[in-house]
Amino acid sequence: MNTADSMAVAPPASTGLGKRRTQLIHRIVAYGVLGTGSVFILAPLVWMLSTSLKTRSQVFRFPPEWIPEQFLWQNYVEALTLLPFEIFLLNTVIITGLSVAGELVSSAVVAYAFARLRWAARNTLFIVVLATMMLPRQVTLIPTFILFTRVFGWKDTFYPLIVPSFFAVPFFVFLLRQFYMTLPFELDDAATIDGCSKFGVFLRILLPLSKPALAAVAIFSFQFHWNDFFYPLIYLFDKDKFTLALGLRFFQGNYGTDWHYLMAASLVVMLPVILVFFFAQRIFIQGVVYQGFK
């Protein structure tokens, strides 16, 4: 995998010794820059953790300390009690869970129609799918808001946040279709000869083989809905309906300078995404990379 790597930037040299030396220099520069960069990347998160464990007076001490005298884990309990955490968490889990399920199922089904079935308008419509991938959501924002709140009467409900998920996401359709295309058609033929219907091929052959792609879709979807702020902001008003993202903002309004509480609560909200990332980073990064090579 890395045969070309060192040559990508290392200058050539006429002698093997000179080449080795330039490679060494390159490596030292790479370690230096990347190491320094890592410090800058991690410092905000360490700072966040450090702040979340301090007392209020320690937070405003100058110069600040990186490691607090004692770790006030109690801050987490207090911050989460100030925020009706269980309610926000439950709301977020409901919305995220149903949205992920809806996007996964609908996108997998639609992608199969575009990858394996022959029907009249397929190729034209696939171009439309690609075009809508690039479409910024603002163009449809206001009419859909009016449709959901005025026509369907879904104001202050979870429906506007969940229902659209069941109508497939263009990017996921694209990603899954590309993945299905890599699976050999001979599998379909063999199953068909064994008496499997076209839908059976999808259900029994393609879906089980697509687990990595489905996992990537599920992770992207989870990440988006968990972090989503804009849609809950415009559709949810009653505090009992708030998601964690909305709740954090509400918390900011009330405890704006209680940084230790704010950081504790923010860290808790981030935690599920961080955990998913660490446990599934291979799938995650592969999915992202895939996205980069359309």
Partner 1 sequence: MLSGLTFRRREAILGWVMASPWLLGFLAFTLGPMIASLILSLYDWDLISPALLVGWGNYREFFVDDPLSLHSLRITLFYSLMAIPLHLVLGVILAMLLNANIRGQSVIRTVYYLPAVLAGVAVAMLWRWIFSPDFGLLNLFLSYFNIEGPNWLGNRTWVLPSFVIMSLWGVGGGMVIYLAGLQGIPTDLYEAVEIDGATAFRRIWHITLPMLSPVIFFQLIMGVISSMQIFTQAFIMTDGGPANASLFYMLYLYRQAFEYRNMGYASVLAWILFLCILALTLLLFRTASAWVYYEAETQRT
Q: Least Å distance between CB 114 and partner 1?
A: 7
Among 256, 232, 235, residue whose Cα is nearest residue 244: 232
The count of other CB atoms within 10 Å of the CB of residue 49 is 15
How many Å from the N-terminal Cα to the C-terminal Cα in the chain? 21
Residues 133-152, interacting with partner 1 (CB under 8 A): 134-147, 150
- Closer residue to partner 1 in complex, CB, 117/190: 117
6 lies in the binding site for partner 1 (CB under 8 A): yes
What sign results for the dihedral spanned by CA atoms 237, 239, 244, 250? Answer: positive
* Helix-helix angle 259-279:244-254, to 10 degrees: 160
* Helix-helix angle 170-182:281-292, to 10 degrees: 100
Contact present, 271 and 116 (Cβ < 8 Å): no
The amino acid sitting at 203 is L
Residues 99-118, interacting with partner 1 (CB under 8 A): 106, 109-110, 112-114, 117-118
Q: Which stretch binds partner 1 (CB under 8 A): 72-80, 81-89, 125-133, 207-215?
A: 125-133
The 241-260 contact track toward partner 1, x by CB under 8 A, reads: ----xx-xx--x------x-
Tokens representing residue 270 in the block = 């981030």
Residues 216-235, interacting with partner 1 (CB under 8 A): 223, 227-230, 233-234
Residues 41-70, interacting with partner 1 (CB under 8 A): 41-45, 47-48, 51, 59-64
- Closer residue to partner 1 in complex, CB, 205/269: 269
184 lies in the binding site for partner 1 (CB under 8 A): no
176 lies in the binding site for partner 1 (CB under 8 A): no
The 153-172 contact track toward partner 1, x by CB under 8 A, reads: -----------x-xxx-x--
- Closer residue to partner 1 in complex, CB, 121/208: 121
- The maximal CA–CA distance of the chain, rounded, in angstroms, is 76
